[in-house]
Amino acid sequence: MKAPEIPQDEDRRLQTLRALDVLDTPAEERFDRLTRMAKRIFRVPIALVSLIDENRQWFKSCDGLGAAETPRDISFCGHAILGDDIFVIPDAAGDSRFADNPLVLGAPHIRFYAGCPLRAFNGQKLGTLCIIDQQPRSFDPDDAQTLRDLAAMVEAELAAFQLATLDELTRILNRRGFMLLAQHSLNTCARQGEPAALAFIDLDKFKPINDAFGHAEGDFALTVCADLLKRSFRNSDLFARLGGDEFVVLLTHTSRESAEGVMAKFAQAVEAHNREVDRGYDIAFSCGIVSFDPARHTSIEALLAEGDALMYEVKLAKSTGGS
C-alpha cells in the first residue's frame, strides 16, 4: 500500500481548511443533496464530500457509507488532492498502490474510485467530491465533466463558509477567521513549547486619507496594506484585518526579536510602495509587538489586548513627538 504524500503547501492548506470552521459540523441538506445526485447520476453505492485534515479524511456528506471519517494514510482522497484534476482508479485490486489497502481488502471494499479536488478561493485543495463502487468500471470524458460540474457546486457551498471568515474588501482573514485559527495555533505552540509573537498594526492618519481623497481611496490603501502583508510574511503566519484600519499578524515559531526584524522588513516594503506610487499621501502604521506567554495569555483575546495597548503607546509617542 502507498500512503498519500503530503502537499508542499500543507501548512497553508490546513490554515485554509481550519478557517472554514466546517470540520465536525452536522450534516447539511445542501451538501447531502449533491452526494445524492452524484450517487444517482453515476449509479454507484457511495458518494462523499471528503475533507482532509492532518490525520484523517472527514466526511461533510456521506451517502452509502456508515463511517464519519477514516485515517488519512489509507485514504484515496489524500492522493486525489495532490493533483489538479480528477483522480481515477478503475480497479483498485489491480493497482499496486491500493491492492492491499484496508479499504479495498475490507469494508467498504473499494474497487473503483473517482475523486475531484475541491478548491478554496485561494486555490488550496481541501478535499474531494468522490464516488466509489465495489466493482471495477470505466470513466469516460463525459463522466469526468459531470463530476467536475458537481464538484463546482460543492465548492460554491464551501465558499459560504469561507465568506464568513474572509474580509470582503481585502480578501484576507477577518476577525472571526483570525480568532478561530489563532487560538488553534497558540494551543499548538503552548503544547509544544514553541515561541510565538503577535504584531498589532494600526494605520496612521487613515481618516485624513478618507476625508481628503474619498472612501474609495481609503479602501485602496487598506487593500495595499493587505497585499503587502501577503508578500511579507510566511505561509505559516496568520494575518488578518480586524476591522477599520486595524490589522494583525501572528507569527508562530518566532521570538519577539525575530518578529521585530520581520516587521522592520514589512516597514521597508511599505516605504518602497510609497516611493513607487504617488497618490498624494503615504501609507504609515504603528505597531505593537508582544511575545506569547502561555501563563499570561490564556486566550487569543488576552494576546490581542496586550498588542493593542502596546500599539497605542507607540502611536501616542509619535503624536507627542510631533511626527
pLDDT digits (tens, 9 = 90+) for 264-305: 999 999 999 999 998 999 999 999 999 999 999 999 999 999
Residue 4 lies in a domain: no
Q: Looking at residue 64, what is its pLDDT? A: 96
Indicate which CATH number applies to the domain containing 226. Answer: 3.30.70.270
**Co-location of 197 and 252 in the same domain:** yes
**Co-location of 226 and 263 in the same domain:** yes
**Co-location of 61 and 123 in the same domain:** yes
Boundary residue ending a domain (163, 193, 213): 163
Q: Domain of 217?
A: 175-320
* Rg (the chain; Cα; Å): 23
Separation CA 4–CA 129 (nearest Å): 17
Q: Which residues of the chain have pLDDT under 50?
A: 322-323
**Co-location of 82 and 102 in the same domain:** yes
Residue 3 lies in a domain: no
pLDDT (tens digit per residue) in 217-248: 999 999 999 999 999 998 778 999 999 999 99
Residue with cell 498588542: 307
**Co-location of 192 and 239 in the same domain:** yes
Number of C-beta neighbours around residue 242 at 10 A: 19
Contact between residue 20 and residue 161 where contact means Cβ atoms under 8 Å apart = yes
* DSSP track, 243-287: ETTEEEEEEET--HHHHHHHHHHHHHHHHHHHHH--SSS---EEE
**Co-location of 83 and 185 in the same domain:** no
**Co-location of 132 and 189 in the same domain:** no
Residue 259 lies in a domain: yes
Q: Looking at residue 323, what is its pLDDT? A: 42
Contact between residue 173 and residue 165 where contact means Cβ atoms under 8 Å apart = yes
**Co-location of 274 and 196 in the same domain:** yes
**Co-location of 259 and 191 in the same domain:** yes
**Co-location of 187 and 148 in the same domain:** no
Angle between helices 141-163 and 29-42 (to 10 degrees): 180
**Co-location of 93 and 193 in the same domain:** no
Boundary residue ending a domain (163, 185, 208): 163
Q: Is 289 helix (H, G, I), strand (E, B) or coil?
A: strand
